[in-house]
């Protein structure tokens, strides 16, 4: 019985751990490459590098999720005609999900781009060589969050003023902080169980 458990369950636990690690690293490569590219662009203009802001990253992920089923056209993403940006009726819900209050995001900007297969060089030029460059060029933006889904990649820029800082709403702080802890605990439990089966 013990060996049966070990034979069946151990591989299961080990693969869960591998899968978890994989999904954590997963599709962040495009995002890291883009961040590096945006900061190289900023450096070439003698601007400070953008620093990662967790809650802005959360919002970028949620927005990318809203876009993901839309195909790329010559009027979507970086090609959007100013003033015709899509509005999401559930935007307040997305903010809540990311522990954000609209008053801390007002000065930020959301820049979605659609690039088939997220080819890195095209992704970067969709930001630096489009109408978006005016934002990337702006000293008022200091923070960044990036999220991607399918062919969509979304950059959220934040400021260091209260109206654009993307700091979590008061009272939501506790929740925001405890989320990664739950995740870590879960992984720790899996590791613990796996090592018990190894004994
Ligand atoms: C950046 O700063 C360097 C040295 O301070 C200067 O030579 C260069 O012209 C500046 N570049 C831009 C784009 O302002
Ligand atoms: C977008 O593409 C369509 C046809 O594919 C074309 O008729 C239209 O002029 C294009 N619009 C722009 C803004 O390039
Ligand atoms: C957002 O913050 C403002 C001021 O800090 C507060 O008055 C308002 O109730 C908050 N809104 C939500 C939805 O939490
Ligand atoms: C943005 O990406 C599209 C692919 O969806 C590409 O055709 C276009 O040339 C890119 N635009 C810029 C300014 O790089
Ligand atoms: C950057 O900003 C300056 C002045 O704000 C502007 O003249 C310039 O065209 C911008 N550069 C790009 C690449 O948008």
pLDDT in tens, 134-183: 999 999 999 999 999 999 999 999 999 999 999 988 654 434 433 333 34
**What pLDDT is stored for residue 27 in this prediction?**
54
96 in Cβ contact with 105 (< 8 Å):
no
Distance CA 166, CA 6 (A): 47
Q: Ligand 4: does its nearest atom lie under 6 Å from the Cβ of 115?
A: yes
**What pLDDT is stored for residue 41 in this prediction?**
98
| Domain assignments of the chain as residue spans, ordered by start | 28-175
Q: Can you tell me which atom of ligand 5 is nearest the CA of 128?
A: 13
**What pLDDT is stored for residue 28 in this prediction?**
78
Residues of the chain with pLDDT under 50: 17-26, 172-186
Among 95, 99, 101, 163, the mutation site with the greatest number of ligand 3 atoms within 8 A of its Cβ is: 101
Longest dimension (CA), the chain: 66
**What pLDDT is stored for residue 26 in this prediction?**
46
**What pLDDT is stored for residue 188 in this prediction?**
52
**What pLDDT is stored for residue 81 in this prediction?**
86
**What pLDDT is stored for residue 25 in this prediction?**
43
**What pLDDT is stored for residue 179 in this prediction?**
38
**What pLDDT is stored for residue 3 in this prediction?**
60
**What pLDDT is stored for residue 97 in this prediction?**
95
Among 122, 123, 130, 150, the mutation site with the greatest number of ligand 4 atoms within 8 A of its Cβ is: 122
Q: Rounded to the nearest 10 degrees, what angle do helices 173-198 and 2-25 cross at?
A: 140
Residue 78: count of CB within 10 angstroms of its CB: 21
**What pLDDT is stored for residue 38 in this prediction?**
98
The whole-model pTM stands at 0.75
CA of 105 to the centre of ligand 1 (A): 31
CATH code linked to domain 28-175: 3.40.33.10
**What pLDDT is stored for residue 85 in this prediction?**
85
Residue nearest to atom 7 of ligand 3 (CA): 103
Q: Which of 182, 167, 172, 138 is nearest to 54 (CA)?
A: 167
**What pLDDT is stored for residue 193 in this prediction?**
62
**What pLDDT is stored for residue 84 in this prediction?**
83
**What pLDDT is stored for residue 142 in this prediction?**
97
């Amino acid at each position: 019985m013990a060996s049966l458990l070990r034979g069946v369950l151990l591989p299961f636990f080990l693969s869960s751990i591998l899968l978890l690690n994989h999904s954590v690293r997963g599709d962040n490569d495009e995002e890291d490459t883009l961040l590096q590219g945006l900061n190289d662009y900023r450096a070439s203009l003698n601007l400070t590098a953008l620093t990662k802001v967790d809650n802005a990253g959360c919002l970028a992920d949620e927005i990318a999720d809203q876009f993901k089923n839309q195909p790329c056209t010559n009027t979507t993403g970086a090609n959007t005609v100013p003033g015709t940006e899509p509005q999401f009726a559930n935007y307040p819900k997305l903010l809540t999900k990311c522990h954000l209050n609209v008053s801390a995001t007002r000065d930020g900007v959301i820049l979605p781009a659609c690039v088939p297969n997220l080819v890195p060089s095209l992704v970067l030029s969709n930001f630096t060589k489009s109408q978006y460059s005016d934002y990337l060029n702006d000293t008022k933006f200091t923070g960044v969050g990036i999220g991607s889904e399918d062919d969509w990649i979304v950059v959220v820029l934040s400021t260091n003023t209260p109206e654009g800082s993307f700091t979590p709403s008061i009272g939501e702080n506790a929740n925001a902080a405890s989320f990664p802890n739950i995740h870590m605990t879960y992984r720790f439990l899996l590791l613990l169980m796996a090592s018990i089966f190894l004994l």
